[in-house]
Amino acid sequence: MNNNNLIRAFIAVNIDEPAGAELEKFLNNLMPLAKLKWVTRPQFHITLKFLGENNFKVIEQVKQAIKNINFEPFNITLDHAGAFPNFNRAKVLWLSCSQGRSELINLANLINNNLNNAGLKFDEDNREFKPHFTLARIPRFYNTPLPQDLLDELKNFNLKISWQCRGFNLMRSTLTPQGPIYSKINL
């Protein structure tokens, strides 16, 4: 199959206003501290399920499997920072939540169950879901420790950035040299 026919997709909770503005302000303060692959406002989301690259037929099956998922709205509050796998060997810098954590896990499990019941399996299915908002990815060529002032800002993160989750979206990710471009796929 021609790779041009594949759709790179994921399922995500998007971030409402004014939380998006608060996150953008926080990121703008961090960006000058290190040359990393920082996320930009159009990329703000919390991934519930990464689907990888799939053909149109699979994307249609995904849409059918998730379109009738209902849940009670819940609040999400990003209130602490971290890194995968850790700050000393960071590949990804993130913010996570205490409020909304269990609800995000339950929603991700509900989505996974619906996909599995529809016979849809994806490479990421065996990984534990850890709700997080990605701040930045550390480029492969970044061979020095992260600057101490950046680590201090993250370790001392004391904001509470909140919004209400009322839904989720199936998203398309188009990779470009400038970074990914995300767009909603209508259910």
Exactly one of 10, 30, 45, 138 is catalytic; name it: 45
Exactly one of 47, 51, 97, 132 is catalytic; name it: 132
Host H or E run for residue 2: none
Active site residue 80: no
Host H or E run for residue 89: none
Residue 24 to residue 38: CA distance in whole angstroms? 11
Residue 170 to residue 187: CA distance in whole angstroms? 7
Active site residue 132: yes
Among 141, 160, 134, 144, smallest CA distance to 33 is for 144
Residues noted as catalytic: 45, 132
